[in-house]
Structure 1
């Protein structure tokens, strides 16, 4: 008997420790092998086959990452604006500036409303709120999109200007208190961004379902119109995991205690997903941690104290002022799920790059954001490992997190970069490519971040 696709898939799932009984001749769908009924949420690369946004980008994985990382300057601009603007810490926007642009690297399944409506929402640790497109949204992305239909949910309601949630959000448009009105006005938003990108939203609440948990009265932005830049907005919305008053973790403190972790799968994982664990249950019992620092001007960002970087056995010489945490300027190092490749301020990156080049035989070439690409038959053996030193924790990056290879040849690149020349950034950003196949624990009550090696694929 011929060895069929079903037989192969059953064998492969058994190899991964998954029940082959899930695969039948009637339905050969590896994406269905990962359900969210176990208490974990699947974390899916947005271009993976199990994502509704999957697309054939062509070329190699290196080409795909180069294309994705070309949008990082928008992200760095947004993060820099957060730490430089010193906004009111008790006031957060539904969506702010380039936060809406190019953050779609990983999505999670979420359900909104009663009965539940399935959405694939972008996971973002540097966002303070959630938002989703609503039915009839003008200018919202049309490709592979879903919209929340308020008329189909028995638990949907708009929030008025008199609610506490509305007072916590910037950019609201409400009538003056002297305006006579038979009922409280709806809390709505109009945002305009550099480059002409703008959207309008209403603050609403509905039941949010994550895995087997239901969260009634969850407040989020219901997008009604995008006047420009719509192609760059994640089609099914965003789920913010920051520490602001309207973030998922703040709205669910009684349920999840301000604790979550994720394990991001490699961009190579076209069929398989990582996981998002919410709450204390199921978190690693033993994990190395580093203190979580807090910027009072922008408390939602997850700062850590990066004290140095080693390339191989050599600790690179870096002036401490480029690494130190400064709440007045926002300088320091954050862990961010929305940036693709780790970015250092220029003096730090150049010290790392120069030491890396000393230990690897050139010549070197440039490809996109990567300025240290080289050809080697076995690049993993030729290249030194990179270690990020943090208070109480030394993270030696797996080779796949510091080197990215072309599947079409022997070209490999150091998968880090400096902040773009047009971004006046004081931030070092540990990005999602460097977090892949690691369990990252965010424990806000205990002011710590934990990191452990884990196969997320």
Structure 2
């Protein structure tokens, strides 16, 4: 397999042109007021928050972001499968609407919160399916590109290659969603008849054409360790093959045979993972909820089955990613320790939930809007928040969300208010607006210092579809929050699992 990690990120901001509403600081302003403006506000072109039909590539040089700057690690580009920077984006697959994305996202965030509160079984999901099925799946989640072995010495009927880091990766390439809140990686495998499987633009991985593929016997320790993801056995005795099943909060699920094969991340010895364990999916429930630009999910959770756990001996149980600001830009995924100086990262302790130990939790200490800390009692944040690569919009405890919303609204009085969109209740009509004056928003996490670990959000991490990209958990102030990938845009998020720390590096992509 070869990992190239595109990213499914939906950016649906209203198009704009015409008059400007930016602040004029050229006449009659003091040096102090200019400094305050720079410190607490950012003026951006509305078009900079919108995707372009042409790939703009990296906003930051890959060499500065991590390419070649690893100690025994692997760096690969991150882009949106439906966008112009991804080969899969050339398929012409339709995007999800904002309403569909927000509906799916509500299921995702609610599922995470229920699991953390103990109201959801560890491996199953009884949430009813979405009321409005999507024709082409949700296109707003991170995804990865893999190359699986395609036959004896690469001589197969289907042997596409992917160019990564100047090298060619032989095998059947697959785009897969990256997921920090799940444990079992899986990919659609032949035979995978429709309608049990969803259409995909990539060639289907066929284990029968790989000389390095191997299923796990039901009696093997690996099969017994699947726990809640175990799904019985096919065959009898020593010849029986281990089966798995994973269910998701949107009503979808995957099932098939649990197998191993070679994972190729980069075309170097350090980028090869022999005996990588993953699910070979032969059937999906609700296949309409998967985009045809993706072939499965690459899990990065703390569980023993995830990519990060399986490779911890090689890559030090460290990985990071940077979500690009739009689908017309490219970010990156890193497996291993970046060689970038530790001082470049803002660090916060990585917490663990007793209910769901595979998820990554952090704790907020406060939120700053335009340089002012919003009034939220510290106990509101006591349950922490999950760092999730698939959740779109950040969920805050009700008191914290209301304080942030009110402070943001007070700073946005110059713009026309628009009706709410789904769970987003602070929306604007930017028609005819060429530039936006946005208050800077910083999430302040726990740290060893008294001031906390402040992470300023990029402008692309503040708005979603012309709305404030935050929502309430819908539960009490004792509920667990979720940090979605919109707020993570342009920030390298570093997961040092062995060191129990999460790092943030701004303007990384």
Q: What TM-score, normalized to structure 2?
A: 0.70
Relative contact order (C-alpha < 8 Å, sep 6+): which is higher?
2
> What residue is the counterpart of 1:253 in the other structure?
312
> What residue is the counterpart of 1:205 in the other structure?
260
Cα 1:182–1:316 shift into 2, 3 Å = closer
Is the 8 Å Cα contact of residues 74 and 336 (structure 2) preserved in structure 1?
no
Question: Following superposition of structure 1 onto structure 2, how do residues 345-360 of structure 1 map, counting pairs within 5 Å?
Answer: 345-360=397-412
Is the 8 Å Cα contact of residues 263 and 438 (structure 1) preserved in structure 2?
yes
- For 1:341 and 1:173, locate their aligned partners in 2 and report how far apart those are by CA, in whole Å: 32
- For 2:492 and 2:59, locate their aligned partners in 1 and report how far apart those are by CA, in whole Å: 22
Question: Following superposition of structure 1 onto structure 2, how do residues 156-305 of structure 1 map, counting pairs within 5 Å?
Answer: 156-169=213-226, 170-174=228-232, 181-190=236-245, 197-212=252-267, 213-226=271-284, 228-233=285-290, 235-266=294-325, 268-270=326-328, 272-286=329-343, 287-305=345-363
Q: Does 1:68 align with 2:68?
A: no
Deviation at 1:445, TM superposition (A): 1.2
Counterpart selection for 2:390 from 314, 338, 352: 338
- Structure 1: state its 5+ residue gaps: 1-11, 20-37, 326-331, 406-411
> What residue is the counterpart of 1:154 in the other structure?
211
Cα 1:104–1:141 shift into 2, 3 Å = farther
Pick which of 246-255 and 372-381 moved more: 372-381
The CA deviation string for residues 381-408 of structure 1, in whole angstroms up to 9 with x for no partner, is 2x32211111121112122211346xxx
Cα 1:348–1:103 shift into 2, 3 Å = farther
Question: Following superposition of structure 1 onto structure 2, how do residues 271-420 of structure 1 map, counting pairs within 5 Å?
Answer: 272-286=329-343, 287-325=345-383, 332-361=384-413, 364-365=417-418, 366-375=420-429, 377=433, 380-381=436-437, 383-392=438-447, 393-404=453-464, 412-419=466-473
- For 1:452 and 1:194, locate their aligned partners in 2 and report how far apart those are by CA, in whole Å: 31
Q: Does 1:429 align with 2:482?
A: yes
Aligned length: 399
CA RMSD of aligned residues (A): 3.4
Cα 1:424–1:54 shift into 2, 3 Å = farther
Deviation at 1:157, TM superposition (A): 0.8
Q: What TM-score, normalized to structure 1?
A: 0.77
- For 1:182 and 1:18, locate their aligned partners in 2 and report how far apart those are by CA, in whole Å: 51
Is the 8 Å Cα contact of residues 41 and 109 (structure 1) preserved in structure 2?
no
- Structure 2: state its 5+ residue gaps: 1-55, 64-72, 130-136, 155-170, 448-452
Q: Secondary structure at the match of 1:42?
A: strand
Is the 8 Å Cα contact of residues 184 and 246 (structure 2) preserved in structure 1?
no
Q: Secondary structure at the match of 1:309?
A: strand
Deviation at 1:378, TM superposition (A): 6.1
Cα 1:161–1:425 shift into 2, 3 Å = farther
Q: Does 1:80 align with 2:113?
A: yes
- For 1:284 and 1:237, locate their aligned partners in 2 and report how far apart those are by CA, in whole Å: 34
Cα 1:14–1:345 shift into 2, 3 Å = closer
Is the 8 Å Cα contact of residues 397 and 473 (structure 2) preserved in structure 1?
yes
Q: Secondary structure at the match of 1:250?
A: helix
